[in-house]
Amino acid sequence: MSYEVISVEMEQEFKDCPVCGYTDGFHSMFKKDGQETKWMFICPSCHSVFDLGLKV
C-alpha cells in the first residue's frame, strides 16, 4: 500500500491537522527505516500521514 507522507516541522504542539483542520489529535503508526523505527501520525479525519522526524 502506498501513501503520501507529509513532513511537518514540530512547533509547540502537534494536535491540529494542517490538511483538514481536525483538532483532536492523531493516530500513531510505526514504520521501519533501516535500523530505526519512525513514529508517524495519521489524521483520523482525512487519513493524511505526517512525519515529525520522531523515532522510537
Binding site for Zn ion (CB under 5 A): 17, 19-20, 22, 43, 45-46
Which residue's CB is nearer to Zn ion, number 46 or number 54? 46
Which residue's CB is nearer to Zn ion, number 33 or number 47? 47
What is the per-residue DSSP string for 15-55?
-S-TTT---S--EEEEEEETTEEEEEEE-TTT--EEEEEEE
Cell of 48: 493524511
Closest approach of Zn ion to the CB of residue 1, in Å:
18
Which residue's CB is nearer to Zn ion, number 10 or number 33? 10
